[in-house]
Amino acid sequence: MVACGKANFLKKSIDITTKITIVSDMITETQLDFLPHIKKQEAQQLSFLDDRNRVHVQKCDKRDVERFFESITEDEIIEHGVVWEKLKCTNDMEVFQRWLFAFCSVHTSYESNMRGYLAIKDFTEWFNRDDVLKQKLIESGVGMYNNRTKFISQFATKFWQNPNLFKFKKDQSWASFRDGLVKEILGLGMAKVSFALEMIYTFDVQVFCADTHLFQAYGYDQSKHSDKYREIEQHWIDMSNMYNVSPAISRAIYWNRKKNQSNCWYWASTLDNSSV
């Protein structure tokens, strides 16, 4: 019995030593990523292998999102709903302005987004005058002036030629409506088109703007896992419907918690035309 116990102890010691060696090797390989003479792709390959050299595939982690939905309060839903009820679009001009806000949100902070939008909100000052539009964008500090001028100008012409093209019809799905607009609109991808639709159809829309924070909430890196957009979008919509809250409102609650804000008015007030 003593010999057997000793043998088991030696076996466990060997196993522990082997594991320590494996971990040490992994640490050494990871450290190589910080050395300039090592090729970047060689270091990156390690992230696809586990400690048994098996291929590791990033999986969607829904737990944090599901805990978030469990934590949403009725007061949060009501407070956000009051803001967006006040901001409901009532005409084509307001719909067009929501699209302008979406264009100004690309690759910038929400503060710059607001400044850019306020600079061009009165589109009668720059419509069909790209030089004026560009100067207003430059003065706002929103960035990407050349492309933003080009994209907004082209969109403005297309929108006012046929505003109905940008209106949801009951005989189509929200996803197909959104996807069709992505093809129509130069300069806005799936997330930003969805953002515009959230601002226009806040209480009804069944798509959502998956930004980098939402990808992170699902355990993904947006720069590496953009192909997971529809997967996380569908889960978010399903959870929203389960908790009887608009996907746009639930996303707003998630975002505003990160900003320590109780509702969207701190930025969405720029959309309000009631005092004009």
Give the domain ranges of the chain: 2-48, 63-271
- Three-state DSSP class for 244? coil
Determine contact, residues 113/105, Cβ cutoff 8 Å: yes
Q: How confident is the model at residue 273 (pLDDT cuts 50, 70, 90)?
A: very high
Least confident of 17-21, 39-43, 138-142: 39-43
Q: What are the distances in angstroms from CA 23 to CA 35, 73, 193?
A: 19, 44, 45
Which of 155, 111, 119 shows the shortest CA–CA distance to 137?
Answer: 119
Reported confidence tier of residue 275, pLDDT bands at 50, 70, 90: low
Q: Which of 96, 119, 116 is nearest to 104 (CA)?
A: 116
Please give the Cα distance from 159 to 96 (Å, whole number).
7
Query: For residue 41, is pLDDT > 70?
Result: no
Average pLDDT of the chain, as a whole number? 85
Q: What is the pLDDT of residue 55?
A: 45
14 compared with 149, residue with greater pLDDT: 149
Please state the pTM of the whole predicted model: 0.79
Under the banding of pLDDT at 50, 70 and 90, the label for residue 217 is very high
* pLDDT surpassing 90 at residue 270: yes
Mean pLDDT of the region 79-90: 98
Contacts of 135 (CB under 8 A, 6+ apart): none
Least confidently predicted of 2-11, 59-68, 92-101, 192-201: 2-11
- Most confident listed range (8-17, 19-28, 33-42): 8-17
Helix (H, G, I), strand (E, B) or coil at 258: helix
Long-range contacts of 64-67 (CB under 8 A, 24+ apart): 64/217, 64/218, 64/219, 65/217, 65/218, 65/235, 65/236, 65/239, 66/239
Q: What is the CATH number of domain 63-271?
A: 1.10.340.30
Count how many residues are written for the chain: 276
Q: Which of 222, 213, 218 is nearest to 256 (CA)?
A: 213
- Report the C-alpha dihedral over residues 128, 134, 136, 140, rounded to 10 degrees: 150
Give yes or no for residue 31 having a pLDDT over 60. no
What is the three-class DSSP state of 64?
helix
> Tell me, what's the pLDDT at 103?
98
